[in-house]
Amino acid sequence: QQKQYQPGEQQQEQQQQQQHQHRESAEDDRNERRRQMFRRVNKLDVSVEDSGKFESGVDVSEEPDIILSGSDDDDINTVYFVQPVRYNGHAVYKSQSNSFLYYVRYAENEGGRWQIGQPNGGVKNDQPIAFVNADADYPYEVATWQAWLVYDKAERDWVRQSKINTYRGDCVVNIEGALHDDVNGEWGILPLSYASRPVFEKLDRNQQRMM
């Protein structure tokens, strides 16, 4: 049944619909500008070089492994073991799931980034699962304010994960003066975080883990 309007009511309803459509359009424009700004700031549309230069037989006996923690993706929070190779003049690291952590350069002098490749994907410049725009010599030198981006498979888009941090695998904390003797001593870092801080562990006198 067709709606019956009072005098002037139909015009008022049409005006309200137009105002609603205008607000939706303005909000869509703002969201698109935010999306484009996000892509520019994080260089999502800047191409990386097609390939890099490998160096093999590198002595890494003095190089620490890398621990990454703080990600919402548990597959990323792990130990990356230093490898006896270099790529683009930087160290290369590999996790137990065969994901590599390595440095790639942007094309056209746009700097470079540290990125994590697909599991079993080797060292390839394209299709990383996570990266951080940082020209640091080593991953543990990436500043805490430099946020990582992780690819969200469900959303099919990149998401910013500002709580991810990278640490030297040989990072330790020494505690002295505690009343409980098991607390005193050296604590080693784990690929875990709590309240955005790294977690350390130690074995007590019974060889039980403490964190």
**pLDDT tens digits for range 85-121:** 999 999 999 999 999 999 999 887 768 999 999 999 8
Separation between Cα atoms, residue 138 and residue 52, nearest integer Å = 17
Amino acid at 125: N
How far out from the chain centre does Cα 38 lie? Answer: 15
How far out from the chain centre does Cα 73 lie? Answer: 9
- Where is pLDDT greater, at 140 or 9? 140
- Where is pLDDT greater, at 150 or 205? 150
- Where is pLDDT greater, at 99 or 181? 99
Instruction: Find tokens 């002037």 and name the residue.
Output: 8
Tokens of 112: 């470079």
Per-residue buried b or exposed e for 143-165, using 16+ beta carbons within 10 Å of the residue's own CB? eeebbbbbbeeeeeebeebebbb
**CA-based nearest residue to 158, from 171, 146, 149, 167:** 149
Residue 184: CB atoms within 10 Å: 14
Amino acid at 27: E
- Cβ atoms of 35 and 61 closer than 8 Å: no
Top-confidence range, 7-21, 132-146, 195-209: 132-146
Strand partners, 99: none
Strand partners, 175: 185
How far out from the chain centre does Cα 151 lie? Answer: 9
Mean confidence (pLDDT) of the chain: 85
Tokens of 75: 């597959």
Q: Do you know the residue count of the chain?
A: 211
Q: Please tell me what DSSP assigns to residue 107.
A: S
Which tens digits make up the pLDDT trace of 124-154?
877 899 999 999 999 999 998 999 999 998 8
Confidence (pLDDT) at 44: 77
Residues in contact with 184: Cβ distance below 8 Å, sequence separation at least 6, in sequence order: 175, 176, 177, 178
Alpha helix segments (H runs only) across the chain: 9-41
- Cβ atoms of 95 and 81 closer than 8 Å: yes
pLDDT band at 67 (very low <50, low <70, confident <90, very high): very high
